């Protein structure tokens, strides 16, 4: 993997770049649609690519449990298995283990957890996480880390930070295929000095990229941005920076403002399945009665297949009727919205106008929030 920084906005820390991998180039800042179980829900791989995504995310935990990393490897790796020809990033399974708080036990060796599928017991170590990801054949692998809930006291944050550093070293030592990149994950809770220590620990080991983890775990937005603003400047400038599990269009804008290059979130696809559609003039709750006779597309000017061919009235009909096509068409639009969002961000950074882009975007989002009552479910 190779990272090239191509431009920086003069008014902030936003930056433009590209990541070259064995399966293609990723334009940054980039948003990665989430393909948890080897599929981006509601869309064909060819559609995801045509909508503008350079890279998708796969989930180590889920693919390990079903169908199994060894089976996927025997069938040619995850790219061939799911017919996705572009780059893939796989997470380590750390966040899923964090979310299984009642089904797992963690110590320095690794995590013992119960499968949410059949209750079977498994032991995930840093070495095992790398083994699984190497078998999957992803372009970018993530170190196993310990994510903690918010709030967490200092002692708990220190404990998780030390374990994350130890696991990062073990992941690096376990890596045998250097054609696959490996990213370290910065933990440390919401304590600035612990975050600094987390960065120093990872830089001492040396990774191909660096992720900020442990955010978007229930903390106030202000705490997330404060932690981000203190952490990102400590990361190497010549390596990709990834903000894990984030997020909303406005969070992406703020992340780019602070110098983040990569994002992922289930929001566009999950929201689509729940009838929430993103537009530049506010969110559309398609089940609302106000759209029953609305002949307009979801968003005027959007170039996605859904907006070019279908009205809000038809999409509302599909959704309230429980038709599968509603989820498919909604997903196509939301995925395209997110990629158009990233295209606008990259253009603004390239032109040195990202500060204005951010100001205008956040102003629109604020007005959308103030007018949300006009789009209530009726």
Which one is catalytic: 91, 201, 208, 251?
Answer: 91
Distance CA 303, CA 363 (A): 24
Distance CA 146, CA 241 (A): 19
Nearest to 329 by CA among 286, 295, 292: 286
- Contact between 144 and 100 under an 8 Å Cβ cutoff? The reply is no
**Which residues 6+ apart lie within 8 Å of 89 measured at CB?**
32, 55, 56, 57, 58, 138, 139, 140, 141, 142, 262, 264
- Contact between 149 and 107 under an 8 Å Cβ cutoff? The reply is no
Which one is catalytic: 9, 208, 251, 264?
Answer: 264
264 is catalytic: yes
- Give me the numbers of helices (H) and strands (E) for the chain, helices first please: 15, 16
Distance CA 163, CA 165 (A): 5
Strand order in the sheet with 30-33: 30-33, 262-265, 241-243, 209-212, 181-186, 140-142, 88-91, 56-59
108 is catalytic: no
Q: For residue 336, what are its two tokens?
A: 């395209």
| Active site amino acids | 91, 264
């Amino acid at each position: 993997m190779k990272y090239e920084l191509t431009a920086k906005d003069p008014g902030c820390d936003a930056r433009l770049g590209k990541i070259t991998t064995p399966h293609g180039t990723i334009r940054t800042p980039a948003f990665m649609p989430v393909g948890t179980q080897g599929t981006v829900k509601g869309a064909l791989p060819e559609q995801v690519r045509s909508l503008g995504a350079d890279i998708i995310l796969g989930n180590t935990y889920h693919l390990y449990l079903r169908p199994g990393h060894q089976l996927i490897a025997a069938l040619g790796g995850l790219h061939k298995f799911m017919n996705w020809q572009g780059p893939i990033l796989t997470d380590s399974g750390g966040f899923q283990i964090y979310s299984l708080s009642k089904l797992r036990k963690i110590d320095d060796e690794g995590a013992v957890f119960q499968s949410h599928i059949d209750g079977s017991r498994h032991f995930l170590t840093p070495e095992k996480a790398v083994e699984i990801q190497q078998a999957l054949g992803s372009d970018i692998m993530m170190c196993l880390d310990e994510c903690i809930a918010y709030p967490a006291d200092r002692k708990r944050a220190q404990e998780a930070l030390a374990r994350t550093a130890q696991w990062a070293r073990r992941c690096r030592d376990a890596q045998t295929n250097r054609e696959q990149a490996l990213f370290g994950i910065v933990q440390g809770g919401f304590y600035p000095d612990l975050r600094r220590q987390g960065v120093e620990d990872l830089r001492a080991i040396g990774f191909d990229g660096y992720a900020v983890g442990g955010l978007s775990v229930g903390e106030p937005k202000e705490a997330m941005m404060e932690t981000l603003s203190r952490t990102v400047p400590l990361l190497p400038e010549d390596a990709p920076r990834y903000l894990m599990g984030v997020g909303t269009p406005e969070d992406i804008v703020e992340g780019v403002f602070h110098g983040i290059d990569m994002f992922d979130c289930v929001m566009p696809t999950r929201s689509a399945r729940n009838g929430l559609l993103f537009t530049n003039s506010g969110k559309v709750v398609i089940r609302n009665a106000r759209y029953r006779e609305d002949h307009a597309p979801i968003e005027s000017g959007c170039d996605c297949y859904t907006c070019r061919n279908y009205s809000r009235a038809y999409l509302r009909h599909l959704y309230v009727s429980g038709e599968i096509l509603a989820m498919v068409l909604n997903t196509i639009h939301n995925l395209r919205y997110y990629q158009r969002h990233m295209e606008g961000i990259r253009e603004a950074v390239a032109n040195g106008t990202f500060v204005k882009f951010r100001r205008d975007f956040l102003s629109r989002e604020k007005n959308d929030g103030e007018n949300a009552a006009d789009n209530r479910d009726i």
